[in-house]
């Protein structure tokens, strides 16, 4: 029976431009796992770290950005690793950043792009990532009034 773990986190970074949002997508470096795919920030949760702490750390490490506000996306993604016989449960977060901040990518990535939802859904590799981007856009644009994201500003990390 596969082991179930939760040692990864993903964070969708976005900025507000006029009356819409743009997502920051990162292209994985050729030398890394899943080379050349476009993705959001993702990374390992270290021992003793919460998913929120890991998400904030990964955003800073991979992009040089600091979140203005961090949210829990009402979605959990999962990955099956057949070589390890593991199912990884991945909490999904999002954060808004100032459009004035400069992106400085890490060696894990070769380039970045700010894109609208339509392009993000075409560029992201996995269905769960595309679904998360749509949920974030719907929430931010108030198209689904019933969606209430939890803001993490009042949660101890």
pLDDT tens digit sequence for 57-111? 999 999 999 988 889 998 999 989 889 999 999 999 999 999 899 999 999 999 9
Question: Which tokens belong to 149?
Answer: 């994201």
Alpha carbons 111 and 127: distance in angstroms, whole number = 22
SS3 at position 149? coil
Domains and CATH numbers, the chain: 3-151 (3.90.79.10)
Give pLDDT, residue 143: 57
The tens digit of pLDDT for each residue in 103-146 reads 999 999 999 999 999 999 999 999 999 999 999 998 887 755 55
- pTM as predicted: 0.90
Helix (H) / strand (E) element for 150: namely strand 150-151
pLDDT interval class at 152 (50, 70, 90): low
A 10 A CB-CB count for 55 gives: 28
What local confidence, expressed as pLDDT, does residue 147 receive?
Answer: 58
Please report, for residues 3, 31, 62, the alpha-carbon distance to residue 34 in angstroms, rounded to integers and kept in the order given: 22, 9, 16
- For 94, residues 6+ apart whose C-beta sits below 8 A from its C-beta are 11, 12, 13, 14, 70, 71, 73, 132, 136, 149
């Amino acid at each position: 029976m596969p082991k179930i773990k939760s040692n990864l986190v993903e964070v969708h970074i976005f900025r507000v431009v006029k009356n819409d949002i743009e997502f920051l997508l990162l292209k994985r470096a050729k030398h890394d796992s899943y080379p050349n795919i476009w993705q959001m920030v993702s990374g390992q949760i270290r021992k003793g770290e919460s998913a929120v702490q890991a998400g904030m750390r990964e955003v800073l490490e991979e992009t040089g950005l600091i979140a203005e506000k961090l949210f829990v996306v009402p979605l959990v993604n999962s990955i099956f690793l057949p070589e390890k016989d593991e199912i990884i449960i991945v909490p999904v977060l999002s954060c808004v950043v100032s459009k004035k901040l400069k992106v400085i990518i890490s060696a894990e990535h070769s380039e970045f792009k700010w894109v609208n939802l339509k392009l993000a859904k075409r560029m992201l590799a996995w269905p769960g990532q595309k679904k998360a981007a749509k949920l974030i856009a719907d929430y931010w644009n108030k198209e689904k009034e019933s969606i209430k994201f939890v803001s993490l500003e009042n949660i101890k990390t």
